[in-house]
Copies of this chain bind each other. A is one copy, B any other.
Amino acid sequence: MVVKRGSRRRTEGPTVADVAHAAGVSPMTVSRVINHDQRVKDATRKKVEVAVAALGYVPNAAARALAGARQCRIVLLYGNPSAAYLSEFLLGSLGSARENDVELIVDKIDPLEKPVMLAARLVAHRVDAVLLPPPLCDDAELLSALQKCGLAAAQVASGQPAPSSHAVLIDDEEAAFTMTQHILARGHRRIGFVAGDPNQTASHLRRQGYERALHLAGIKPDKKLVAQGNFTYRGGLSGAATLLDITSPPSAIFAANDDMAAGVVSAAHQRGLDVPSDLTVCGFDDTAIATTIWPELTTIRQPISAMASVAIEILAQAVRSKRPLARAQPQHVKLDYELVVRGSDAAPQLKT
């Protein structure tokens, strides 16, 4: 390995030139072998491969990138998700971004900026794709602005993925159905539901799952047992207040996310009700708050970190694909959820 005097050489490893020299070919041929170019003669390829192995050659990523390999810059746009959700989402994205060699930029959306402007700004900053966690994943205007600018987008945890964008999700309806069945199996018949933000499509799916399980159990859904909660702790607090103060209150409340479930638990405590002996409370998401409060919440575990990770991977692949066809072929991936039983559910009290 020849290192010239006064060279600015920093890296210690061998280069294409070193390999070429060792194999008795030109650097160009080494490059072809590395990139699996079909046109290299088998004998030549062998020689190069031997040299590569002997020298322990590893291509320099920066040089490849500079010389023409396609870069990938993805923006993670976030609106106002709960801190626990964002935190897990960030962790998943970060790991995946490193593995897939994508540059990840994290940016809070400015509600005052028009989606069209935003999209234009992203393009100006050489962004290739956009990652959209809830609630942004359901912003139709944003999605269409992005598409018009030719930016790939991945919706994470949207209840209603657009056909034109990539999406990673769980089956919200089925998960809510599963949770409701679990509560029914405990023996509850009057099960309250605190619904999520009506602007997020997942909210409706979760409610549908709840109602389907009820139907299947021969229970007619009662509108008085459904309260609005907006996916916030305060919404859970006020929603539970509504449900708990009706004539024949529910013995269990299923909140469509953990933040609201925490609010429900607090409302129960304020009324002197014990959870779970007086009231069963279940959540959805399994974010940090589920194991922070007491009792710990029985909930649906949504693989937030994995969902973010998969979304980055899909986006990176789409961006780097040579064929424009692949960019026009959005993928929708469904991941598994899991029912996590902890301490906030129990059989209802016997009426005496």
- Residues of A bordering B, CB below 8 Å: 8, 10-13, 56, 58, 60-63, 65-66, 68, 70-71, 82-84, 86-88, 90-91, 94-95, 98, 103-106, 108, 124-126, 232-234, 237, 259, 263, 265-266, 269-270, 272, 287-289, 292-294
Contact = CB atoms under 8 A, between A and B. Distances in A.
Contact of A58 (B86, B98, B126, B289): B126
A84 B270 CA distance: 25
30 contacts: A8-B68, A10-B68, A10-B70, A11-B126, A61-B62, A62-B65, A62-B66, A62-B71, A66-B66, A82-B288, A82-B292, A84-B87, A84-B288, A86-B87, A87-B90, A90-B90, A90-B91, A90-B106, A91-B106, A91-B108, A95-B106, A98-B105, A233-B292, A233-B293, A234-B294, A237-B294, A259-B292, A265-B266, A266-B266, A272-B272
Contacts of A91: 90, 106, 108
A141 to B, nearest CB: 24
A120 to B, nearest CB: 11
Nearest to A56: B124
A85 B259 CA distance: 16
A247 to B, nearest CB: 23
A83 B289 CA distance: 8
